[in-house]
Amino acid sequence: MHITIIGAAGMIGRKLAERIARTGKIGERPVNRLTLVDVVEPEAATDFAGERTALSADLSEPGTAERLIAERPDVIVHLAAVVSGEAEADFDKGYRVNLDGTRALFDAIRTDESYAPRVVYASSLAVFGAPFPPRIGDDFHLTPLTSYGTQKAMGELLLDDYTRRGFFDGVGIRFPTICIRPGKPNKAASSFFSGILREPLNGQEAVLPVDDDVRHWFASARAAVGFIEHAATMDTNRLGTRRNMTMPGVSATVADQIEALRDVAGDHAVNLIRREPDPAVARIVAGWPRDFDTTRAHDMGFRAETSFRQIIEVYLEDEMDGRRPDIANHKT
């Protein structure tokens, strides 16, 4: 099987590539060829035993999509995106990358009449907009309140329509906010959700820009990779024409996050969180959904953590080699 990952230099793309390189499979299906694509050349999966190609390419540039599908990969994982805060700040860039790039890919596949791959499309909870019911199901209307959410909603509609027309076999997965993201903060408005845990776990100060009662929907990076693996290999007949689903996760407040951090790392870690209200971030986050009914995705075989403590434990296992943080003696 040939897998192409677009957006492979990002955190999820890199982890997916590394999982494939380590196991030689995606899900239970063997992979003998792996193509990694991003605007900067990806470095992940250098130890892959099969044929590995890494490319620097901008999907929104004319001709790029056609070049990427020329070798007819069996599965295309489309993760490339300008994230929420940046898409809101730079209107033109958000639409060029998130909408124009997506349509360029879909149309390149469409014009090859004898080619119909599995396409896994990374969507977002931002496709939904307030006012919300207490729990949001997959049938709730798409009324995004940000440019990023609008771009992702358009991508979802294209995925459904192109799949309905038989151009490809699409699966759209709405990721929860991935927490705890390793590495440095990105430009997403949700970045602080990871920062208030990641930095204290590493003995560093973190800034909290919103109130403790802000509630959101979370899953780990490990769960995110699992979502993609399952979407790439599942039987899609049961999905019918409704190809986009919200992934399972944990609904938690900032206060819940902080208490889970206290359970794992103690008061010393919690004391490293500094509250600095940011009205711009608070305004964006206020329009986001908070809790979901993911029965459909669960019935289709998608799985995630069931508590925020589990999400922190996954981070310790995957990013800190299972070490318990010694915050009290950590030098900042």
Question: Within 10 Å of residue 105's Cβ, how many Cβ atoms?
Answer: 26
Verify cis geometry, omega within 30 degrees of 0, for the bond prior to 73: no
Question: Within 10 Å of residue 237's Cβ, how many Cβ atoms?
Answer: 7
Helix (H, G, I), strand (E, B) or coil at 194: helix
Give the integer Cα–Cα distance in Å for 150 and 244: 15
Which position among 95, 148, 162, 315 bears the catalytic label?
A: 148
Give the integer Cα–Cα distance in Å for 13 and 3: 12
Give the integer Cα–Cα distance in Å for 21 and 50: 8
Query: Is the CB of residue 58 less than 8 Å from the CB of residue 37?
Result: no
Question: Within 10 Å of residue 277's Cβ, how many Cβ atoms?
Answer: 11
121 assigned to active site: no
Instruction: Name the residues annotated as catalytic.
Output: 148
